[in-house]
Amino acid sequence: MKNSCWLSILLFVACGSNATRQHDAALRSPAPGRIDTVALGGIDHPKRDSILAAQNREGSYANDFAYRDADGVTHRLYDSEAPFTLLYIHNPECQACREMKAALAESTVIAAAVASGRLHVLALYIDADTALWRRHLPDTPPGWHNGRDENEFIYLHNVYDVRAIPTLYLLDAGKKVLLKDALDIASVERMLAGFR
C-alpha cells in the first residue's frame, strides 16, 4: 500500500494532472489583444502555413497592434470603441485591393453602419512606401480611418496572415474575430445585419 501511494505521487509529479496541464496551456495561450508572434524564417512551408493560419482565428481575440494615421498620431486596433471593426489590409495600387475597396464603399449596409457609428473601418497599409500610401489618402471612403504599419511590424512578425491582399477581418466590440480573411462583402453585410 505504501509503495503504491509513492508511485501515485511520483506519477502525479512527473506527469502532472489533467487540471495542471490545462492550467499550463491556458497560461501559454495569448491573452486578449496580446500578440503570439513567431519567427518563421527557417520553418518549412506546411508548418509555417499552419502557424500563420492559427493567428486570429474566428472566435479568438484579434492580435492588437499599433498604427499611425495621416497626421502621424499613433493608435491601436483596440482603441476603437465601435460595436464592430472591419480591418481592411491592403495596398492602394493592388488591383484586387481597389476592387475590394470599391465594393466595400458601394455597400449600403456598410455605409449605414459606418454612418451610425456601429462600424469602425480601418484601412491598413502594411508596406514600406509611405509616399505611395499618402498619395492615395484622398481615395479613402467617407468615415473610414486610414492607417499604416510604420515599421512593417505586422508582416515581419507574422501578427496577421497577410500572404495575400486584400484581406478583411470583422471584429466585435471586444475584438473577437467574427470573420477571418473574408473576401466577399455579402458575408460581412450578413454578419452586420445579424447583430442589430
pLDDT in tens, 7-40: 333 333 333 333 322 333 332 334 444 444 444 4
pTM, rounded to two decimals: 0.76
Residue 162 or 106, more confident: 106
Mapping DSSP to helix (H, G, I), strand (E, B) and coil, where does residue 169 land? strand
Phi and psi torsions of 185, nearest 5°: -65, -30
| pLDDT-derived band at 109, boundaries 50, 70, 90 | very high
Residue pLDDT, tens place only, 113-147: 999 999 999 999 999 899 999 999 999 999 999 99
C-alpha cell at 177: 474575430
Average pLDDT, the chain: 79
Is pLDDT above 90 for 68?
yes
Residue 186: how many other CB atoms lie within 10 Å: 11
Q: What is the pLDDT of residue 48?
A: 65
pLDDT, average across residues 154-173: 88
Report CA torsion sign: 43, 49, 50, 52.
positive
State yes or no: pLDDT of 4 exceeds 50: no
**In angstroms, rounded to a whole number, what is the distance separating the alpha carbons of residues 186 and 72?**
33
What pLDDT does residue 43 have?
52
Confidence of residue 86 (pLDDT cuts 50, 70, 90): very high
pLDDT band at 164 (very low <50, low <70, confident <90, very high): confident
Q: In the structure, what pLDDT confidence band is assigned to residue 83 with cuts at 50, 70 and 90?
A: very high
Distance CA 72, CA 146 (A): 11
| Residue where the block lists cell 512578425 | 157
Confidence of residue 196 (pLDDT cuts 50, 70, 90): very low
Give dist(CA 132, CA 96) in Å, integer.
Answer: 17
Residues 6+ apart with CB under 8 A from 89: 124, 126, 154, 160, 162, 165, 166, 167, 168, 169
